[in-house]
Structure 1
Amino acid sequence: MKTIVIFGASSGLGLAAVRYFASQDIKVIGVARNPQKEADLNSLCEKLIACDATEFDAVNSAVSELPKDAVVLSTMGSFRSDKPVDYIGHRYLVDALEKHGINRLLMVTSLGCGDSWQYLSERAKAGFGAAVREKSLAEAWLVSSSLDYTILRPGGLKDGEVTEQGELSQHVEVHGAINRSEVARLVHQLLLNDASIGQIYQCVDPTVSYY
């Protein structure tokens, strides 16, 4: 993997992923609503693309600038945002990637999405259940697409260094937290493994406290 395209690059998990992949000497194309929000992006990214993912024409235009062999990572999310992107942004991204023949997408959602909804506490459902449901819709749209997809559902996200202790799992109940930089490392691991295509994983780090 020579180049990775990161949607949601200007903050949170996306920014942590930019920093991680740049540290691995992998070229990064950063895509964000406001790519100038974070000064580091100019030095970390080979190219920056401004894109409001709630507008299909903007997403389509951004995707049209990408190389056909691009590996795409989406960390887009909109918890408590006035412009929710969780479902519609990913629907537009999936549609644009299909249109332009770019096949590989790893989408980061969260624990509680899809069949893991049953494991969310009532407090969590009340607090951020709407965002989780939007992300679940995005997962369904991706799974029913023609793309070579992988979905990763991390636990509670925290700032911190790569720990090498993050754990990937499937089809079991898990709870916990994980550093954003460690999620980026696990994303890299999954993208290097073709067996991850068509799979859904979750990840937490037992060495990281949720509180």
Structure 2
Amino acid sequence: MILVCGANGLLGRAICDKLPREKTIAVLRKDAMDTFFSERNIAVEIADLLDLESCNALLQKTQPEILITVVGGKNEQGIRSDKTANINLIKAVEKYSPTTKVVLVTSVGCAEQWDLISPLAQQALGEALKAKTEAEAYLQQTALNWLIIRPGGLNNDEVNDEYQIVRDLPNERKMYVSRKSVATGIVRLLDSTENHQIFSIINRG
């Protein structure tokens, strides 16, 4: 079973669309306002990922083979789920489902890539990238199986295969890559035996 956390976002939905539906569970903060998941027969779990006990209950119940998290953003109280929710999920996996492989989707510009993005991007995304970097660091010090995937800037182009998976960012690269292409790349990495690795997914152009 594959648990997709943050499934109701645009990237989360794109990932769900590319996974085997009978093996996919979409984790939502509240019920979807449309029929996206029901018409695809994708199972849904409702959980508040900012609450550790909610994460514990989710992992205790589902015990998935793989957990993909694309959780991000900030709530009304200013708490960034990029850090808090992702670390809660990782802690819950450690406690209740330690054989689960965690696939943490963050962003180009995290950690050692900070100096490789523009000053404008640093200013606009600094708070989010810091939170995502802290989640990455927490995951890396666990004994879990994990992958960290850092997409470039996301757009809604319809292309599914205009991407490349790299370990090191090239100096010359396009800033944006389609969500559908990133979803394709993520699913491709799931099918590999890669473990304890960090990859970036950027535009192929």
* Correspondence 1:12-23 to 2 at 5 A: 12-22=10-20
CA separation of 1:38 and 1:63: change in aligned 2, threshold 3 A: farther
Question: One-letter code of the match for 1:181?
Answer: K
TM-score between the two structures when normalised by the length of structure 1: 0.87
Q: Is the 8 A contact 2:18 2:187 kept in 1?
A: no
Deviations 1:117-166 (A, max 9, x none): 11121111111110001000000001111111001101011113343231
Question: One-letter code of the match for 2:202?
Answer: V
* Correspondence 1:33-44 to 2 at 5 A: 33-44=29-40
Question: One-letter code of the match for 1:10?
Answer: N
In the TM superposition, residue 48 of structure 1 has moved relative to its aligned partner by 0.8
Give identity over the alignment, percent: 24
In the TM superposition, residue 12 of structure 1 has moved relative to its aligned partner by 1.8
Runs of 4+ in 1 over 6 A off after TM superposition: none
2:145 to 138, 143, 148: 148
Q: Could you say what secondary structure the match of 1:6 adopts? A: strand
CA separation of 1:168 and 1:49: change in aligned 2, threshold 3 A: same
2:67 aligned partner = 72
2:24 aligned partner = 28
Q: Cα RMSD over matched residues?
A: 1.9
Distance in 2 of aligned mates of 1:79 and 1:181 = 24
1:88 to 84, 88, 98: 84
Q: Could you say what secondary structure the match of 2:103 adopts? A: strand
In the TM superposition, residue 34 of structure 1 has moved relative to its aligned partner by 1.7
In the TM superposition, residue 80 of structure 1 has moved relative to its aligned partner by 7.9
Distance in 2 of aligned mates of 1:146 and 1:187 = 22
1:119 to 108, 116, 120: 116
CA separation of 1:158 and 1:187: change in aligned 2, threshold 3 A: same
Deviations 1:158-209 (A, max 9, x none): 1133432310111234542111111111111111111x210000111134xx
Q: Could you say what secondary structure the match of 1:61 adopts? A: helix
Question: One-letter code of the match for 1:119?
Answer: L
1:182 aligned partner = 181
Question: One-letter code of the match for 1:89?
Answer: A
> For this pair of structures, how many residues does the alignment match?
201
Between 1:91-100 and 1:46-55, the stretch displaced more is: 46-55
2:131 aligned partner = 134
TM-score between the two structures when normalised by the length of structure 2: 0.90
Distance in 2 of aligned mates of 1:14 and 1:157 = 12
Between 1:25-34 and 1:111-120, the stretch displaced more is: 25-34
Q: Is the 8 A contact 2:162 2:177 kept in 1?
A: no
Q: Is the 8 A contact 1:155 1:203 kept in 2?
A: yes
Deviations 1:93-113 (A, max 9, x none): 111001112420111100000
Q: Could you say what secondary structure the match of 1:36 adopts? A: coil
1:108 aligned partner = 105
Q: Are residue 166 (structure 1) and residue 163 (structure 2) matched? A: yes
Distance in 2 of aligned mates of 1:183 and 1:16 = 9
Distance in 2 of aligned mates of 1:35 and 1:16 = 18
Show structure 1 runs of 5+ residues with no match. Answer: none
